[in-house]
Every structure is written in C-alpha cells, then in structure tokens.
C-alpha cells in the first residue's frame, strides 16, 4: 500500500489532521504535493541515493516532503527544530544533504544557518530572508504527476546526541517499488492490526524516528494521523475524545504526566474509542505501567527498538502482567545477551543486548562506531544492557554509558529513577554518577519537584530515606540535588549526559 493508492480510492479522506489548528491534509493533497516535490527534486539533479534535510516543527508539510523524498528514492534527514545553527550545519554536512528545507517560523537561527551553508540549496516554508527561497513557489511550477523513475527512499535519522555527538543511522535503500511492504508496515498491520480504519494520535515531534515512521506507516495503510504540535497531558485526553482516536503512541514520560493530572481532569474525557496504545523509547516504571493498565484497560502494548532498526521486541498487556518490567520477546531478529567481549552469557545474566539476523545498518561516516556495534559473529548492539529470562523476555537495565561504578559495584540508574518517579513530590528525575574520592563514583539523584517551593534539604532527606526503604543501600542516592526543569528532548528522551557532565566539570550547571 501507499498514500498514492489511497489518493485514487479515497481522495477526500484525511491523511493528517493538525490537533491545534484542525488543518486537514487529504490523501489527494498528499499525493499531489508529494508528486510535485519529487518532480522538483529531480529538476535539481537529485537522484536515488542522494540526501535532503528538513528542519521543521510539527507541520502537515512534513508528510508531503517526506513522501516526495520517498517516491524519489532519496534519503531524508529530519533535524530537530530545537538545535542551534552549528548543530544544524554539522548534520547537513555530515549527512551529505544537498538541499535543506526549513520552517520560516524558526526565525533568527535561519540567518545563522544560511551563513554556515553557502554551498547548499536552501528553501523555506513561508517567508524567510535570502538566500532561502520559497519552497512552495518552487514546487508549484511542477506537475502533480509521478516521476518516471519512482523507487523507495528512506529516512536517515540522527541520534539525539544524549551520549555524544549525533550520528546518522543509515539503512541501505531497498531498490523496491514505492508501495513495497516494510518491516514496520508488516508489524503495524499484521501484529497490531492497524489499517485504513485507524485514527492515530501522534503526540511527539515528527523529526524523531518513532513518530515519523509510525505516522507514515499509518498513512501507507490508509489511516488518519492526528498530530499534536506539542504535548500537553490534558489536551491529549481531549483530542482522543474529539477525534475518536483509536490508536496512539506514547513514551513513559507522557504516561507520568497524564497520571499526575488531577483526578477530575483524568475523568473529564471519554476515552472509550481508544483500543490500542503503544509505548517505547524507554522502559516504563512498573508502577506507572500498572496504573495505566488500571486506567485504560488491557490495551497498552510496548515495544523495544532503536532508530537503527536492527531488531525489535514486543510485549502485549497480558504478557506484561505475567512478566512485569519486561519489554518483550524478539519479533525482529533473535535476542542475544553478551559480555563486554561480545560473547554469549548464560540465561539470566546481565549483559549487552544484541540482535542476531536483524536488518543491517551503518553509522554514517563513522566506520569505527559501526564496527563497535558488531561482535565477531556479526550480531549488532546499540548500547543497551539487560537480561533475558527462561521464556525469552528481555528486561532492560540501562544504557551501558550511564552505568555507575561505586566501590567496584555496577549500579544502573534506571532502577533508581523508576522508584523515585513514583514519589508524589517528584515530577521528573535523573540519576547519575558523580566523582567520589573514596568510592570512585557516588549515586546522585537530580530531581524536578512537582512544587518548586518544596525543593530543599528536607525533601532531599525524605527521598534518600524513600530509596533506602525500597532498594539496597548501595543503590540509594547519597546526594539529592534539584533542577527547575530537567533537560529533556521533546520526544521525552532525557539528556542525561548534560546532567552528568555538570558533576565532572565538563559543562555549566543549572543544578542547585
């Protein structure tokens, strides 16, 4: 399936609805705009295998540009709208993008971007200062008919840089027709049962892998996506009711924020249309997942996968209740747990999570990092640590790079964070290792309080006691500090490296 097919069979059906404005893009609109875009790309000399970059906030135009690139066999690199001009410059140059399409609304940063990229074709949606040219005016000159040499393109997305400089994740182009099945379309349609009747709510930025890929897959299957310009917990519930949303995807941070709404706000909206909710990006604290299942019923699924797409695990609500804390069993690739040398470990032991036989990928322009992601058998890992039980279910421990070694003991922050976030006075939390003369590293919890006025020594002591009552003392924080707001990517991913670096003297700190 492909949006172009739905444009012929159901042209007036919404392919996208923007939540805040209610703006509708029909499948006819999507088909015509993406055809004009593909024609434009060819006129610029872009051929299959070339790359374009987009620098946009959530907008319906994301889809016609992405589908235009997909029809033209291009790689499309989506850049976070929160990045600075030097960061945009790095990604454009590293990706090899010959064309950048930006949002005029991003304002002053565009002038800086233009100064850094004088050798790239620069276009904007909306009125932007020179040298940016008007993308809509440019594509309008081309016919709304398919190019003669359509072939399937693909995204090439960059890691969000939570553990270092972002790297492009590149999967070889398939060479298949534009309507060929993909692993994600098979998963979404055959495993999760979504299709043309789906009304799918996407609350996260489209430049991130899961929102972009799932939205495009729903459109590929003929469903409608409702895109939030930005996430707000109560607005999210209202949108489910308004549009009779029957499927949605979240991250655990979204769940936490919805659960911390006043009870009256949670009960004010009719959520009966919602039949399927899925979450990913980070393991969900067990108490949070239990509360969501109590609230929404047995509709909350979970999957584990990286942008690299080298493998995937999935777990249903019923299986999760029998294996609480697990992110599921492998549905793409075979799951393997290995030691630091890449050698398999006995069942139940913690180690690096590898997939055998999953799709291939490389880190663009970084053969060393690509090689580090493989073991001698060719299995691939993306840096997560976990264990597998006797039934084949994976339990994630943390990212290898965030492990704390205190007094020779390996401590994984995720377990501590999962506990502290359940405290009623905690709105957000990150646990990091700080230098310690005696222990090497000490465990520090950095907390964003629900009420800023409560941040202080009394609450710090209360949280340390709470951790000691529920965890072994070696895992309990020895120090609790406070931040007004933790640095999170709009997708919900925590920039923990920035917090950790503050303790190691590598960056300025907002920690008090």
pLDDT at 512 > cutoff 70: no
Q: Does residue 102 lie within any of the structural domains?
A: yes
Same domain, 382 and 452: no
Q: Please report the sign of the dihedral spanned by the C-alpha atoms of residue 340, residue 345, residue 349, residue 352.
A: positive
Same domain, 366 and 408: no
Which has the minimum average pLDDT: 149-158, 165-174, 487-496?
487-496
CB atoms inside a 10 Å sphere around CB 356:
17
- pLDDT score for 406: 77
Q: Does residue 510 lie within any of the structural domains?
A: no
- pLDDT score for 436: 80
Q: Does residue 104 lie within any of the structural domains?
A: yes
pLDDT at 113 > cutoff 70: yes
Neighbouring-strand partners of residue 307: none
Q: Name the residue among 285, 292, 281 with its Cα closest to residue 317.
A: 292
Tens of pLDDT, residues 8-23: 999 999 999 999 999 9
- CATH code for position 141: 3.40.50.980
Same domain, 93 and 157: yes
Q: Does residue 165 lie within any of the structural domains?
A: yes
Percent of the chain whose pLDDT exceeds 90: 70
Q: Does residue 434 lie within any of the structural domains?
A: yes
- pLDDT score for 508: 45
Same domain, 99 and 149: yes
Residue, of 490 and 485, whose pLDDT is higher: 485
- CATH code for position 378: 2.30.38.10
Tens of pLDDT, residues 380-412: 998 888 999 999 999 987 666 677 877 666 677
- What's the chain's average pLDDT? 91
pLDDT at 511 > cutoff 60: no
Same domain, 340 and 475: no
Same domain, 385 and 446: no
Q: Does residue 340 lie within any of the structural domains?
A: yes
Same domain, 123 and 58: yes
Which two structure tokens, joined as six digits, stand for 150?
């359509």
- pLDDT score for 474: 80
Same domain, 50 and 160: yes
pLDDT at 289 > cutoff 90: yes
Q: Does residue 260 lie within any of the structural domains?
A: no
The residue with tokens 């949670």 is 266
Same domain, 116 and 72: yes
- How far, in Å, are 71, 86, 98, 152, 277 from residue 179 at the CA level? 9, 37, 26, 8, 26
Tens of pLDDT, residues 331-385: 999 999 999 889 999 999 999 999 999 888 999 998 988 998 999 999 999 888 8
Same domain, 366 and 409: no
Which has the minimum average pLDDT: 70-79, 252-261, 296-305, 430-439?
430-439
Q: Does residue 158 lie within any of the structural domains?
A: yes
- CATH code for position 427: 3.30.300.30
Same domain, 410 and 360: no
Same domain, 127 and 31: yes
Residue 347 lies in domain = 333-392
Domain count across the chain: 3
């Amino acid at each position: 399936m492909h949006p172009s097919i739905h444009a012929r069979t159901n042209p007036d059906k919404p392919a996208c609805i923007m939540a805040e404005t209610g703006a509708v893009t029909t499948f006819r609109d999507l088909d015509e705009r993406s055809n004009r875009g593909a024609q434009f790309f060819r006129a610029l000399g872009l051929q299959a295998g070339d790359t374009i970059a987009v620098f946009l906030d959530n907008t319906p135009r994301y889809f016609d540009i992405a589908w235009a690139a997909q029809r033209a066999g291009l790689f499309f690199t989506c850049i976070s709208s929160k990045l600075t001009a030097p960061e945009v410059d790095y990604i454009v140059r590293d990706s090899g993008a010959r064309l950048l399409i930006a949002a005029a609304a991003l304002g002053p940063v565009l002038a800086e971007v233009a100064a850094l990229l004088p050798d790239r074709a620069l276009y904007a949606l909306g009125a932007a200062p020179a040298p940016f040219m008007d993308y809509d005016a440019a594509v309008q000159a081309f016919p709304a008919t398919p190019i003669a040499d359509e072939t399937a393109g693909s995204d090439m997305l960059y890691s969000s840089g939570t553990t270092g400089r972002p790297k492009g994740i590149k999967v070889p182009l398939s060479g298949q027709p534009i309507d060929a099945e993909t692993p994600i379309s098979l998963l979404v349609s055959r495993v999760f049962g979504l299709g043309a009747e789906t009304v799918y709510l996407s609350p996260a930025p489209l430049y991130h892998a899961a929102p972009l890929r799932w939205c495009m897959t729903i459109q590929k299957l003929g469903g409608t996506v409702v895109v939030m310009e930005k996430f707000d917990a109560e607005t999210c519930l209202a949108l489910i009711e308004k549009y009779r949303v029957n499927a949605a995807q979240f991250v655990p941070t979204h769940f936490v924020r919805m659960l911390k709404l006043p009870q009256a706000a949670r009960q004010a909206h009719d959520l009966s249309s919602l039949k399927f909710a899925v979450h990913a990006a980070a393991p969900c604290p067990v108490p949070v997942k239990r509360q969501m299942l109590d609230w929404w019923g047995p509709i909350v699924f979970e999957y584990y996968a990286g942008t690299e797409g080298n493998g995937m695990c999935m777990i249903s609500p019923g299986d999760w209740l029998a294996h609480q804390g697990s992110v599921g069993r492998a549905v793409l690739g075979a799951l393997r747990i290995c030691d630091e040398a890449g050698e398999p470990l006995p069942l139940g032991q913690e180690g690096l999570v590898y997939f055998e036989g999953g799709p291939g990928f490389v880190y663009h322009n970084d053969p060393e990092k690509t090689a580090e992601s493989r073991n001698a058998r060719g299995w691939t890992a993306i840096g997560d640590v976990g264990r597998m039980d006797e039934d084949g279910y994976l339990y994630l421990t943390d990212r290898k790079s965030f492990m704390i070694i205190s007094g020779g003991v390996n401590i994984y922050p995720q377990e501590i964070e999962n506990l502290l976030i359940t405290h009623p006075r905690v709105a957000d939390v990150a646990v990091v290792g700080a230098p310690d003369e005696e222990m090497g590293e000490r465990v520090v919890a950095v907390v964003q309080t629900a009420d800023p006025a409560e941040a202080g020594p009394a609450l710090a002591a209360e949280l340390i006691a709470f951790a000691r009552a529920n965890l072994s003392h070696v895992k309990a924080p020895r120090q609790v500090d406070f931040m007004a707001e933790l640095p999170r990517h709009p997708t919900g991913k925590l920039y923990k490296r920035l917090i950790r670096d503050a303790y190691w003297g590598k960056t300025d700190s907002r920690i008090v």
